[in-house]
Amino acid sequence: MHTTHLKIAAGLLATIGCSLAAGPAQVVLGSAKTFAILANTRVFNTPTSAITGDVGVASGNASSLSNFDLVPDASQQFSTSAQVNGRVMVDTDEAPTPQLLAGAAVDMQAAFTDAMGRRGANFVGLQNGRIVGGTLVPGIYKWTTAVTIAGDITLTGEFHRYLDLPNLWLLQPRNQQSHNPHWGRPPAERHLGH
């Protein structure tokens, strides 16, 4: 068993998946599973990041990716970045990228709807919605309040970049403050920080 340390910027909470010995049933990501980060409109990055896998913005151009220092590939189908071990793709790249991103966005929405609709929480109201650090085991975490992550969290277990494996963590906050992401659909923007 490995331990994966994730540093998540305060105010950001994302659905995170891992393959472990216990936890909820799989969430099928379909074509979205090839992306390490996939957003509808924008990705903000606080350099320097080390991202393994593709990064995509389904409805945007290169300016929708902040602080990546993009270098367009000769094919014009994607860009590269020293911070990404993979392709960086936006809707305005050459074909077949726009179609790939559109399909992945539809699959991301379906997976998000499934994950956020799961019942039977294993953990309710953890740290009253203000996570200041700690270790999370696989399961469904549910809050009736907004959630802020104000410190590093550790997810124990063997980490996989695909959610459609047998087990995972589902974090289900309730949005009550306008500065938190809206959770009725996948967040349009992703903020990366450390």
60-89 pLDDT tens trace: 888 889 999 999 999 999 999 999 999 999
Say what the pLDDT of residue 17 is: 37
134 vs 101, more confident: 101
Quote the number of domains for the chain: 1
Lowest mean pLDDT among 7-21, 48-62, 158-172: 7-21
Percent of the chain with pLDDT over 90: 29
Question: What is the pTM (predicted TM-score) of this model?
Answer: 0.66
Say what the pLDDT of residue 94 is: 96
| pLDDT exceeds cutoff 90 at 138 | no
How many alpha carbons fall within 13 Å on the CB side of residue 115? 30
| pLDDT exceeds cutoff 50 at 172 | yes
d(CA 137, CA 190): 23
Q: How far is CA 52 from CA 15, 36, 82, 86, 90, in A?
A: 17, 7, 11, 6, 17
| pLDDT exceeds cutoff 80 at 112 | yes
d(CA 58, CA 89): 8
Indicate the SS3 state at residue 165.
coil
43 neighbors 101 (Cβ within 8 angstroms): no
164 neighbors 27 (Cβ within 8 angstroms): yes
Say what the pLDDT of residue 136 is: 82
- Over the Cα atoms of the chain, what is R_g? 16
Provide the mean pLDDT of the chain.
75
Dihedral, CA atoms, 31, 39, 82, 93, nearest 10 degrees? 70
The boundaries of the domain holding residue 135 are 3-192
Among 105, 13, 96, 107, residue whose Cα is nearest residue 56: 105
d(CA 113, CA 170): 12
Say what the pLDDT of residue 140 is: 85
